[in-house]
Amino acid sequence: MPPYTWPERGYVLEMKKRHRVQLFGNIVDSKGTSDEQTPFQFRHRAADGEVTEGHIPVGFRSILPTESGSNLYLTSLENVIAEFSPSLDETWMRVVGYLEKKGLVSLAELEYLDADPFVLFGIDDPVTQKALRRLQNQVVLHCTTGDTPSEEEWMRYLCMDPLADADHKWVIEAFAEAELPTPWTSYKGIGSIVCFTNPETRVTTWQHPMHDYFRQLLSYCKSAEDLEDILKIRVHRLLWSYEFIHSHPGAEAEPLISPSQLRKLGTIFGVDLAKEGHLVRVLKRFLKIFAEEYQQRNDISKSQVIICVDTLSTETERWEVLKDNWEDALSGGRNHNIDIPALANGEVACVECPDKPALSYCLECRDHTCLDCFNKLHRKGHRSRHAVFKLVRCSLCESMPARLRCQVTSKSFCHDCYAMKHIHTLSALEKEMRPTLIDYVSLKADVLGKASQGDVELTETGALAERQYNAGTLGIRRSKRSVDNTDRDGKGVLLMDTSRSDDDEEDLLTSSILGSHWHPFYDSTGIMYYYNFSTGEKMRRSPVDTSAPGKGDDDETNDDDDSDDDDDDESSSQGIAAVV
């Protein structure tokens, strides 16, 4: 037991007999029985990180006062009055004797301190004993350090085993992040126990309002048959949380298809969007489909989850194949007869129909073809797996490569169609917004950054191939495990449409230009912006052509505020309606 020093005479006489219990322990009975010396178990609140179970008063550690006023707790036995005794009464008698011997307190103070320690310290207080009896049958949430409970305290609250339940830590993370239902609030009460109160009903309880829900969620995950069942419930919870948060009046109108929600979906499926940006569009499509299922059935089909897992795996493999092909092409000196300026200007003819300009180049066949011929030749068989990049087709003539992107309509045109036709459909104010130039040659390589000077053109072509692969050839094929349109319980399933029409090329233009780092979203007002998952940057202007006018000239860098987001294919209102 460390020695006590009193600031001034008479201090003890002014002490209130109502004590604050820092941490509860076992029930004791100190009156009229032999159990008077029963030790009162507790955890020392100032054990400096290493919390161990001991007896009141804890004398295992010595205390060294510092100049700052705080105490330094040591593992040595210096400054300890006497050896520890399991008898609280005997230990307290030694403390009082030490104070009397050193003359640290007055006679009146000694008379006050010479009392039953159970009563003196509030251990025998009826309120304390009542609380201890409740704790024997009820698990509570502690918050011993800081303003929020630690991960270990959340796990103890749900009775989780840190080792056996390591795969279910996401339940704890979701529980800790969950907002209390209105009008519930929380505060840290006696004993560092988190209390929850409802001002409308005037109910105060130790039980979290959502405790039963997360207990059932944990129980379901433990009994799940396979991984897809757990993924299904996690996706369902993601959409439920979005709907719950944004259904309250005055809630911020965050679109569903946003960087924050997409990052959460990627975490569920084990995708790090900062490193695997090529999977952003895949997750966008599946998030829409999951939201549609949730809206129609209030559930997520297991078959659709299986398709998502297979698609992510397939596209990751194809992405690696593409990078390997281009690395091999640069290192091995393979000669790809690609003239990017000529191809972008429509000067290269299709090898199948010479009267049409080529809009694609197959890295395996090494042929230039128009998009119709390419789709016909690479529809099935081993050719369907060939690495290829495509130029964007003009939305008017549908034959020449697009070189300009209109900032008003977000459509792409060749030079002739824009100057001779599309410009006449714009108002005088809209004409002042000059189109963005699609410069296929000057795109910086993202896949390969160590090419020699002689391989610059080929590297730029490879960067274009990467972008076009990411945007135009991520064909999502139907999983073999979900051939039919029903799941195991026979219910209908909204399977993904795997067909790709010519209109998809226009929708995929933005991704084909930006590559795998910058991704387009829409904020809650329907204005497009670009987000980088690697750096957390957000900007209105196009990352490719910074001189082009944007719909908002305020560029931002924000890692956490992803509230103004939506998909590159739908408006913000459509994204919200998908769930609400």
Q: Are 487 and 301 contacting, i.e. CB atoms less than 8 angstroms apart? A: yes
Least confident of 87-96, 295-304, 484-493: 484-493
Q: Report pLDDT for 513.
A: 40
Domain boundaries, the chain: 12-122, 151-223, 236-275+289-297+484-577, 322-472
Most confident stretch, 116-130, 219-233, 234-248, 262-276: 262-276
Phi/psi for 72 (5° steps) reads: -105, 120
Find the farthest-apart pair of alpha carbons in the chain and give their distance in angstroms, rounded.
113
Q: Is the pLDDT of residue 452 over 70?
A: no
Kindly report the pTM of this predicted structure.
Answer: 0.47
Give yes or no for residue 435 having a pLDDT over 70: yes
Please give the pLDDT value at position 127.
66
**What is the arithmetic mean of pLDDT over 430-447?**
61
Using alpha carbons, list the distances in angstroms from residue 466 to 14, 388, 463, 520, 529. Answer: 78, 9, 5, 17, 22
Tell me the C-alpha distance between 315 and 384, whole Å. Answer: 13
pLDDT score at 543: 64
Write the DSSP string, 26-58: -----SSSGGGG---EEE-TTSTT---EEESSP
How much is the average pLDDT of 309-316?
A: 89
Average pLDDT for residues 238-259, to the nearest whole number?
Answer: 79
Q: Is 155 helix (H, G, I), strand (E, B) or coil?
A: helix
Output the 3-class SS for 441-480: CCCCCCCCCCCCHHHHHHHHHHHHHHHHHHHHCCCCCCCH
- Residue 380 or residue 507, greater confidence: 380
* Confidence at 456, pLDDT banded by 50, 70, 90: very low
Residue 553 above 50 pLDDT? no
Which of 5-19, 127-141, 272-286 shows the lowest per-residue confidence on average (mean pLDDT)? 5-19
Q: What is the distance between the alpha carbons of residues 100 and 565, in angstroms, rounded to a whole number? A: 71
pLDDT of amino acid 439: 62
Per the model's pLDDT, the better-predicted residue between 537 and 550 turns out to be 537
515-520 mean pLDDT: 72
Please state, in angstroms and as integers, the Cα–Cα distance from residue 305 to each residue in 227, 276, 286, 479, 482, following that order: 10, 19, 9, 11, 10
Confidence at 250, pLDDT banded by 50, 70, 90: low
* Burial of residue 161 (number of CB atoms within 10 Å: 0-12, 13-18, 19+): exposed
Who contacts 478 (Cβ-Cβ below 8 Å, separation ≥6)? 307, 495, 496, 498
Mean pLDDT over the full length of the chain: 68
How do residues 339-358 score in pLDDT, each as one tens digit?
A: 667 777 788 888 888 888 88
pLDDT of residue 448: 32
CA-CA distances (angstroms) from residue 337 to 343, 354, 395? 11, 17, 27
The CA distances from residue 289 to 224, 255, 462, 502, 555, in Å, are 23, 15, 32, 21, 31
Q: Which of 340-354, 441-455, 456-470 has the highest mean pLDDT?
A: 340-354
Considering only 31-45, 311-325, 430-444, which range has the smallest mean pLDDT?
31-45
Above pLDDT 70, what percent of the chain? 56
Confidence of residue 197 (pLDDT cuts 50, 70, 90): very high
Query: Is there a contact between 304 and 288 (Cβ–Cβ < 8 Å)?
Result: no
Q: Enter the DSSP assignment of 278.
A: G
Backbone angles phi, psi at 482, to 5 degrees: -135, 50
- What is the reported pLDDT for 262? 92
- Burial of 369 per CB tally in 10 Å (0-12, 13-18, 19+): buried
**Strands 368-369, 388-390: parallel, antiparallel or unpaired by DSSP?**
unpaired
Q: Indicate the range of 60-69, 127-136, 205-214, 305-314 predicted with least confidence.
A: 60-69
Over 302-327, what HEC string results? HHHHHHHHHHHHHHHHHHHHHHHHHH
Question: What was the pLDDT predicted at 70?
Answer: 63
Pairwise pLDDT comparison (337 vs 429), residue with the higher score: 429
Instruction: Write out 57-78 in H/E/C secondary structure.
Output: CCCCCEEEECCCCCEEEECCCC
Report which of residues 164 and 495 the model is more confident about: 164
> How many Cα neighbours within 13 Å face the side chain of 405?
23
